[in-house]
Amino acid sequence: MKFKLSTATLCISGAVFAMSLVNPTLAKIPDFLGNGANRNSATVPELEQKSSFDQTSSSDLLAQAVTVNLNGVWRANDGGTYYIRQVGNELWWYGQSSNNGRSFSNVFHGYIGQNEVAGNWADVPRGRTRSSGEMVVRIDSSRRLTAVRKTGGFGGSVWTR
């Protein structure tokens, strides 16, 4: 089967990943499959073998995902302030420590699935720390988020507003 797509939606374990395919044979997704591979991409033939694309389920999940509004200023249990921007099923944030970002400053980009956000984070040069990793955050409510999986030593685990 050949794909001729510019955008695709992939459903893995209840999470939706929307992908812009610059190269239609390579789809970038976080490695949350737990297969131990040290990579964050899979070719379309690999995805065909490992995953099934269910358009109805993916559409339903996407509709559920965008009903919550996460935009705003959040505080986390790492003492930081996080400025979250949601556009459709995509989420970005800038987070900084309470000393105006001198201890840590980070950015995150992820995709919202059914009650979860999955994506990648990285520290930026404003703060002293220099780490990066992947993260899955559960959407407990429109006022509370909880990290359920994180790599790279990310400090915060609960965000509230």
As a whole number, mean pLDDT of residues 85-93 equals 98
Which residues does 142 contact at the CB level (< 8 Å), separation at least 6? 68, 69, 70
As a whole number, mean pLDDT of residues 107-126 equals 97
As a whole number, mean pLDDT of residues 62-68 equals 63
Percent of the chain past pLDDT 70, that is, above it, reads: 59
Q: What pLDDT sits at residue 67?
A: 82
- Reported as a pLDDT band with limits 50, 70 and 90, residue 151 is very high
The Cβ of residue 143 has, within 10 Å, a number of other Cβ atoms equal to: 11
Distances (CA, A) of 78 to 58, 65, 111, 153, 158: 34, 26, 23, 12, 8
